[in-house]
Chain A
């Protein structure tokens, strides 16, 4: 059985962020902050704090830019983040399978 749940990804908002950023339909350049807000149902401050947490763990990278004079933050899963999310999902499936 895989070691255990990933303590960083295990939190519900962070789980949703990682699920969105690693989803098959997600753009290669990631998702912007407003899309993640819709997908997670989190407030600006809450989502920002969780993205910082994931970034400190090396699971995501953020990029800030101005689009049509408005600030836009894009978040993208790193290879480490994708691997960690894959391990977490494998762990969940093992639990379900009764491993």
Chain B
């Protein structure tokens, strides 16, 4: 059988392409599960806010977010072979996002409740959008689409802001997560 360089090159290119797609599919599957989990937490946060009294309610987001970060790290850990460096990077990314967000939201400016809700949600979606530049169009599409919807709710929802922003963010994450798992 004759086998030339061009043929070998084409086969290696086909292998690289399949390996790249398997890797992307795995990233999308894990990211999809994580997005759906954060979508569920949006509803949990809303329920907790409705049920808890006074000041406890104002800080309840801290516990829900801490739960989300812990679950995200657990899902990343389960997703592949043990890789402490990857988990440390994920934890550092969360620390940077929360640190940067806290600096703006509480240090430099004093946002009201609605502005805070929009700011934190869109800050993390901005991270999603940036991730899209490396990990695929899906992240970019989710980041930009949900950011647009959340701003629309902020501008037009009026008294229905809190339930609507919960539904848009929660359902948005869940639908996008399902889409990523199937992509």
Contact = CB atoms under 8 A, between A and B. Distances in A.
A12 B12 contact: no
A11 B140 CA distance: 36
B92 interface: no
B22 A25 contact: yes
A50 interface: no
A4 B14 contact: no
Nearest to A12: B14
Given A4-B1, A95-B5, A15 B22 contact: no
**Overall SS of chain B's interface:** helix
Interface residues of B, number: 20
Interface residues on A, range: 20 to 34
B182 to A, nearest CB: 10
Interface of A: 4-5, 7, 10, 12, 15-16, 19-20, 23-27, 31, 35, 39-40, 89, 91-93, 95-96, 98
Interface of B: 1, 3-5, 7-9, 11-12, 14-15, 18-19, 21-23, 25-27, 80
